[in-house]
Amino acid sequence: METALKKSLLTVATLFALGLATPATAHEDHACADSACTIQLLYAADEAGGGDTIAPTRYGTWGFDVAGMDRSVRPGVDFFAYANGTWAKNTRIPDDQSSYGSFRALRDLSELRVHKLVESYPLGNPETDGDAAKIAAIYRGFMDEATIEKLDARPLQPVLERVRKADSHLELARLMGAHDTFNTTLFALMVGDDQRDPDHYTLYLSQAGLGLPDREMYLRDTFAPQRERYLAYVAQMLELAGWKDPKAAAQAVLDFETRVAEAHWTRAESRDRDKTYNPVAFADFDKYAPGFPWAEYFKAAGVDHGDRAVVRQYTAVPKLAKLFAETDVATLQAWQAFHAVDGAAPLLSSRFANAHFEFRDRFMNGQQAQRERWKRAVALVESTIGEAVGRDYVKLYFPPEAKAKMDELVANVKAGMAARLDQLDWMSEATKAEARAKLQGFGLKIGHPEKWRDYSGLRIVNGDVVGNRLRSRQFEWDYRRARLGKPVDKAEWSMTPQTVNAYYNSVKNEIVFPAAILQPPFFDPDADPAVNYGGIGAVIGHEIIHGFDDQGRKSDGKGLLRDWWTPEDAAKFEAQAAKLGAQYEAYEFPQLPGLHINGRQTMGENIGDLGGVTIALEAYRRSLGGKPAPVIDGFTGEQRFFLGWAQVWRTLWRDDALRQQLVTNVHSPGDIRAFAPLRNIDAWYDAFGVKQGDRLYIKPEDRVRIW
C-alpha cells in the first residue's frame, strides 16, 4: 500500500542506500549528523541534458507543477492533496525504493551525476595516481560481481577470526574499541566540537548496541512481528558465518539486545541538551560505570591521549556497563559475529547481500527490489571518499551565480527573522537582545567547502572491496580522533556538495546548504520568486529557526551551551511548544493503527517548519518592496508561496517504511509537514479562504504563535 507521505530525512551519507550502516549506527538519531547531536538535518528523474552535464527537472512554467494538483479538493480539507493530489495518484514508488518524492527525485539526479563522474575515472594505481584512481578502485571493485561471488565468504573470515579470538570480556572490550571492523559496540565514540568550549574538539560517548532501528521495537507489543523476523535473520546470518548452533545463539543475541534496549534512553530524552552534556574524566569511569574495562577500551579506540569523555545518556551507560559484565562471553561473541556479518553482507556474495536486503530493505522498509548494482557502487564511493567526488561535481553543477542568489535569499530571510523578533509580544527585551546577537552571528556556507579533504593517507587496493571498506573506516576514525583537544576547524563541512539536504550546526552557529539541494523544486533561478521563497526560502528559515527551537535555543551566538533566556520567556516558549506538539500527536495514520507522531521527539523539526515558513513569508513580502505581487495562472503571490512549500514535501511512502519512520525519526512525515505548520499561519487562511468547518481549521486563539 502506497501512502502519500514525504520521507523526512535523507541520510547525511549515502552508505544507508547501500545498506552499509552497521546496527551499531542504526540506533542513532536520524536528525543528527554527529553523535553529540549538534548538527541538525533538514530531513529524504533521469533527465539528460546537453554536453557533459545532466540537467534537473523543471516544474511547470513558473516553478510549480500545476498539473500535479487536485483542485477538486478544498485546500482547507486536505492541502497536501490540493497541492499534490494528481501527482500522488499518477506516481508509483520505484521497486528499489521505500519512498519517492521531491527529495528522492533530486537525490536520484545527484546519484546519476556522480555515476557519470565515477565511470569516467580510469583504473590505475591507487597508491600513486591520486583520488581518481582510488575512486575507480572502489567503484570497479564493487562492480566486479564475478570476483565477489567467487570469493564468497573468504573476505569475512579474518573479521570473524578476530571475534573468535576475543574470548574474554577484556578482549571483547578491546574489539568494541577498534574501528577497523564491522563489529558493534555498546558505547559509540565521536570527536566533535565541544558544546561548552566551541573552539576545541572533545570526545563524546553515546549509547549503542542495537540491531533493530530503535529501542521501541524491542519493547512494544506492536513490533512483535519485527522481533520475530529479526530473530530469524540473526540466526540466518550466523548460519552463513558458520557459527555454532546459530538458532540458540540468535535467541541469546535478541535477549541481550532487549536488555540493552531497556537501558537505552528514548530518542526524545536523547534530544534534551540540558541532560546530554555530562563530562566524565577517564580516571573516574570505573567508579561511574563499573563492570567495563574502560582504560583498555579507550586505548583500543586510540583516544587514551585525551582525559575525559562527554557522556550523552548519563544514566544508561552504567546500566550498559553492568550488563556487559553480567553477560557470558559466548553471547557477546555471537552478538559481535552477527553484527560483523550484517555489516559486511552488502559487500559480499549474493547469498549474504540478498539475505541482508530481504530483511533490512524488503521486510523492514517494504522495498520491493534490490537497487541496481551501479547505484550501490556509487553509494559505496560516496560513503568512502565523497568529498573527492564533490570537487568534480561542483565544477560541473554549481555555477557561481547560484551562490550569489542564495546569498541574497539568505540575507532576506535573516531580515525576516529580525523583523519577527521585533514583533514578538511574548518575549522580553533582555531575551530579544540575546536572540538578535545570535541571529547576527549566524554563519553561512553555500555550495561546497573552500578547503577539501585530503585522502592521500587512505590506502585503497584494486579488487579488495572488504579491505578497502575496513581501511576507510579506520582512516575516518583516525582523522577524527587525531583532533581531540585541538582547535576546531571552522571551515569544515559535515556534508558533501552532492548531498540533497541542509543542516544547522549549533556549536558553530551556522547554516549549511550543499550544492545539490539548490535546484528545483527547492530553488530555480528562473522560477517565480514566491515559489522560491516557499521552497528554499522556507528551508533557509527552517535552518535558522533550528538556532531557536526547543534545543537550539540553549546555545548562544558563539555556540556556547548556556541558558540565555529569562525564566518567564522560557515558560511562555515551552507552553507554545507543548501546544504545537499536541497538534502533531493528534494526527492519525489509519493504515498503521496505534502509531502516532511523537510530539517531543519531533519538536525541534516541527518548530523549524512553523518558524521557517513564517519568516520566509515575511521575507517574501519584504522582497516585493511595497508593490503588489502579480497574479499568475489565477494564483496570488501568497498562494504560490504556500504551494511552493507543499510541493517540496510531496512523496509516496510504503507503509513499512512509514512505521519505522514514526518510531525512529525526529521529523514528522512529509504529508503532515506540507500543511501542519500552515494551520498556525493566518495568511494561509486568508490566501485560500479556509473557514471554520474545514478539517484543517484551527481557531485563531488556538493557533501556535512562536516566531
DSSP string, 258-282: HHHHHHSPPHHHHH-TTTS-EEEEG
pLDDT at 22 over 50: no
- Counting beta carbons within 10 angstroms of the beta carbon of residue 274, is it exposed (0 to 12), middle (13 to 18) or buried (19 or more)? exposed
User: Grid coordinates standing for 82?
Assistant: 490540493
Query: Rounded to 5 degrees, what angle do the CA atoms 181, 266, 320 make?
Result: 50
pLDDT of residue 403: 84
Collect all residues with Cβ–Cβ distance below 8 Å to 495 and sequence separation of at least 6: 12, 33, 501, 503, 512, 514
Closest to 109 (Cα-Cα) out of 522, 525, 533, 641: 522
Q: What's the N-to-C CA distance of the chain in angstroms? A: 38
Taking residues 586-599, what's their average pLDDT?
A: 93
User: Grid coordinates standing for 13?
Assistant: 551519507
- Counting beta carbons within 10 angstroms of the beta carbon of residue 590, is it exposed (0 to 12), middle (13 to 18) or buried (19 or more)? exposed
User: Grid coordinates standing for 383?
Assistant: 560513503
Strands 443-447 and 510-514: parallel
pLDDT of residue 16: 28
Give 536's pLDDT tier (boundaries 50, 70, 90).
very high
> How far apart, in whole angstroms, are the C-alpha atoms of residue 109 and residue 55?
8
Omega prior to 155 cis, within 30 of 0: no
pLDDT of residue 38: 59
pLDDT of residue 42: 60
pLDDT tens string 664-697: 999 999 999 999 999 999 999 999 999 999 999 9
Q: φ, ψ for residue 280 (rounded to 5)?
A: -130, 125
Kindly write down the DSSP assignment for every residue of 476-502, as one continuous string: HHHHHHTTTTSBP-TT--SS-TT-S--
- 16-20, 38-42, 414-418: the lowest-pLDDT one: 16-20
Helix axes 329-344, 157-165, angle to 10 degrees: 160
Percentage above 90 pLDDT, the chain:
89
> How far apart, in whole angstroms, are the C-alpha atoms of residue 341 and residue 152?
12
pLDDT of residue 107: 95
Percentage above 70 pLDDT, the chain:
93
- Counting beta carbons within 10 angstroms of the beta carbon of residue 46, is it exposed (0 to 12), middle (13 to 18) or buried (19 or more)? exposed
pLDDT of residue 30: 41
DSSP lists the bridge partners of residue 279 as 310
Side by side, which strands form the sheet with 651-654?
A: 2-3, 651-654, 99-101
pLDDT at 5 over 90: no
pLDDT of residue 332: 98
3-state secondary structure of 555: strand
8 Å CB contact between 82 and 71: yes
Collect all residues with Cβ–Cβ distance below 8 Å to 328 and sequence separation of at least 6: none
> How far apart, in whole angstroms, are the C-alpha atoms of residue 122 and residue 137?
9
pLDDT of residue 39: 63
**Cβ burial 47-82 (10 Å sphere, 16+ → b, else e):** eeeeeeebebbebbebbbbbebbbeebbbbebbbbb
Query: Rounded to 5 degrees, what angle do the CA atoms 253, 259, 264 make?
Result: 120
SS (H, E, C) 407-459: HHHHHHHHHHHHHHHHHCCCCCHHHHHHHHHHHHCCEEEEECCCCCCCCCCCC
pTM above 0.75, yes or no: yes
Residue written as grid cell 545498506: 19
> How far apart, in whole angstroms, are the C-alpha atoms of residue 162 and residue 461?
22
Closest to 516 (Cα-Cα) out of 28, 66, 10: 10
Give 52's pLDDT tier (boundaries 50, 70, 90).
low
pLDDT at 359 over 50: yes
pLDDT at 24 over 60: no
pLDDT tens string 429-472: 999 999 999 999 999 999 999 999 999 999 999 999 999 999 99
Q: How many CA atoms lie within 13 A of 258 on its CB side?
A: 17
On average, the pLDDT of the chain sits at: 92
DSSP lists the bridge partners of residue 187 as 207
pLDDT of residue 44: 32
pLDDT at 33 over 90: no
Classify the C-alpha dihedral 91-95-101-104 as positive or negative.
negative
Taking residues 598-611, what's their average pLDDT?
A: 95
3-state secondary structure of 628: coil
pLDDT of residue 402: 81
pLDDT of residue 21: 34
Taking residues 638-650, what's their average pLDDT?
A: 97
